[in-house]
């Protein structure tokens, strides 16, 4: 029996056809060129530079000095190093628990709604339009232990006020809540798009079989969106592990280093301590970890395409 390969046969194109194709797509290449230059400058070059920096000591005046693994040894010896990685992992974990399910549930609810659909979608997406710094500072006010909105709400229910950002036990989760709220709209929108691509007849069949809302979600929606759920999971891990703006603006890494993250520590090294080598070393470590997740993501999306 012949083995069927998944690989498509290689198509040999005619040289003249190729030239015509290039000519036809010249405008497209022009546009692509701009994007490539931007990517090269603002993404790839800094990335390569960062890798180089992590093995150097530089003052940006004299030629940089190669120091081997010294920058890595320095950051390893930093007492905040362990806290930073633990907090980053905890933040990502909490963000998955809190922030992963909510947009999906919201998308399901929005998809099931018959009235005010467009309005509610707009409302859910609205926070995404807010500049992140504004969103974070808004929450700073919400978290105020005295006049803050959250403690006022607790007070209505005769519950004791919480120290939100000022306690080692609640600070990190408070940052997760901010992050979840700010990214809610994007996640919901992506899930909604995925939900709408599910053929309606599947639901009709399920309804004919007597399935209620919960069973329809469990037996139709979840299997049909399995792949997008997985992709979003990976994207969320990659995004949350780079958390910076929340600890930078809300807690300054405190209390007692409870919210120091790898990205925040990296910033401290580079800009507070003027040690770009140390910052680069931390950045490289984070990049390697994120590359693993990115590789899984690419694999999953490729499998999907195939």
Partner 1 sequence: MRTTSHRRALGLLLVAGLGLVASSCGSGDDEPAAQSSGGADAKVTITVGCQPPKSNPKERTAWDEDVAEFQKLHPNITIESKDAFPCINPDTFQAKLAGGTQEDLFYVYYTDVQKIIKARQAADISEYVGSVKTLKDLRPDVLGVFKDGDKTYGLPRTNYNMGLVYNRKLFTQAGLDPNSPPKTWAEVHEAAKKIAGLGAGHVGFGEYSAGNTGGWHFAASLYARGGTMVSEDGKSAAFNSAEGKAVLENLKQMRWNDNSMGSKQLLQWEDLMRMMGAGKLGMMIGAPDVVQSVNNDFQGKFEDYGVTVVPESEGKASLAGGDGYMFNPKASPDKIKAGLLWLEFHELTPGEGQFNYQRSKAQGRPVGLPIPDLYGDTPPGKEITALRKQYATVPVEHFAPYANAQTSITNKLEPPKAQELYAVLDVAMSAVLTRKDADIDKLLADAEAKANKILERNS
Q: How far apart are CA 286 and CA 238, in angstroms?
A: 10
CB of 71 within 8 A of CB of 65? no
Q: Which of 289, 235, 291, 292 is nearest to 84 (CA)?
A: 289
Using the 8-state DSSP alphabet, how is residue 164 labeled?
Answer: G
Our finding on whether 74 is near partner 1 (CB under 8 A) is yes
Nearest to 245 by CA among 182, 166, 151: 182
Q: Is 147 in the site for partner 1 (CB under 8 A)?
A: yes
Which range, of 124-132, 139-147, 202-210, 228-236, touches partner 1 by CB under 8 A?
139-147
Smallest CA-to-CA distance from 232 within 47, 134, 118, 107 is with 107
Please, which residues bridge with residue 56 across strands? 66
Q: Which is nearer to partner 1, 41 or 122 (CB)?
A: 41
Q: Do the beta carbons of residue 108 and residue 228 sit within 8 Å?
A: no
Q: Does 40 bind partner 1 (CB under 8 A)?
A: yes
Our CB check for partner 1 shows the closer of 46 and 223 to be: 46
- Asked if 251 is part of the footprint of partner 1 (rule: CB under 8 A), the reply reads yes
Instruction: Provide, rounded to whole angstroms, the least separation between the CB of residue 284 and partner 1.
Output: 18
State residue 252 phi and psi, 5-degree precision.
60, 25
Cβ 252 to partner 1 shortest distance, Å: 3
Looking only at residues 266 through 285 of this chain, which bind partner 1 when binding is defined by CB under 8 A? Answer: 268, 270-274, 276
Residue 46 in contact with partner 1, rule: CB under 8 A? no
Give the nearest distance from C-beta 116 to partner 1 in angstroms: 38
Structure tokens of 1?
A: 């029996």
d(CA 54, CA 31): 34
How far is Cα 266 from Cα 277, in angstroms, rounded to an integer? 10
Q: Determine which residue in the list 155, 204, 209, 256 makes contact with partner 1, applying CB under 8 A.
A: 256
Query: By C-beta, is 68 or 200 nearer to partner 1?
Result: 68
Among 2, 10, 35, 77, which residue sits at the site for partner 1 (rule: CB under 8 A)?
A: 77
Map residues 152-191 to x or -, x wherever contact with partner 1 holds by CB under 8 A: ---------x-x-xxxx-----------------------
With CA atoms as reference, report the closest residue to 163 among 150, 176, 153: 150
How far is residue 175's CA from residue 157's CA, in Å, rounded to a whole number? 23
- Quick check: 50 and 284 in contact, CB under 8 A? yes
Q: Does the footprint of partner 1 cover residue 242 (CB under 8 A)?
A: no
Near partner 1 by CB under 8 A: residue from 2, 4, 6, 15? 15
Counting residues that bind partner 1 (by CB under 8 A) gives 45
Residues that bind partner 1 (CB under 8 A): 13, 15, 18-19, 22, 29, 33, 36-37, 40-41, 59-62, 74, 77-80, 144-147, 161, 163, 165-168, 250-257, 268, 270-274, 276
């Amino acid at each position: 029996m012949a083995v069927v390969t998944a690989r498509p046969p290689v198509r040999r194109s005619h040289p003249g056809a190729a030239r015509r194709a290039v000519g036809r797509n010249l405008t497209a290449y022009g546009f692509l060129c701009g994007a490539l230059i931007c990517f090269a400058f603002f993404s790839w070059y800094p990335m390569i530079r960062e890798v180089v920096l992590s093995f150097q000591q530089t003052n940006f005046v004299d030629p940089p000095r190669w120091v081997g693994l010294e920058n890595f040894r320095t950051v390893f010896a930093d007492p905040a190093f362990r806290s930073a990685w633990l907090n980053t992992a905890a933040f990502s974990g909490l963000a998955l628990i809190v922030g992963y399910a909510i947009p999906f549930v919201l998308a399901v609810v929005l998809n099931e709604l018959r009235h005010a659909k467009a309005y509610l979608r707009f409302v859910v997406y609205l926070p995404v339009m807010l500049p992140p710094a504004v969103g974070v500072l808004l929450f700073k006010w919400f978290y105020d232990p005295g006049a803050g909105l959250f403690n006022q709400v607790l007070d209505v229910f005769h519950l004791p006020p919480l120290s939100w950002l000022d306690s080692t036990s609640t600070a990190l989760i408070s940052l997760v809540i901010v992050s979840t709220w700010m990214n809610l709209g994007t996640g919901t929108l992506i899930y909604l798009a995925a939900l709408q691509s599910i053929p309606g007849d599947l639901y009709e069949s399920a309804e004919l079989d007597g399935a209620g809302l919960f069973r329809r979600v469990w037996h139709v929606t979840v299997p049909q969106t399995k792949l997008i759920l997985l992709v979003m999971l990976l994207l969320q891990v990659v995004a949350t592990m780079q958390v910076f703006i929340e600890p930078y603006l809300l807690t300054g890494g405190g209390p007692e280093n409870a919210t120091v993250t790898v990205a925040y520590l990296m910033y401290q090294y580079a800009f507070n301590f003027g040690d770009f080598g140390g910052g680069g070393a931390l950045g490289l470590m984070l990049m390697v970890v994120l590359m693993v997740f990115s590789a899984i993501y690419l694999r999953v999306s490729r499998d999907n395409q195939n």
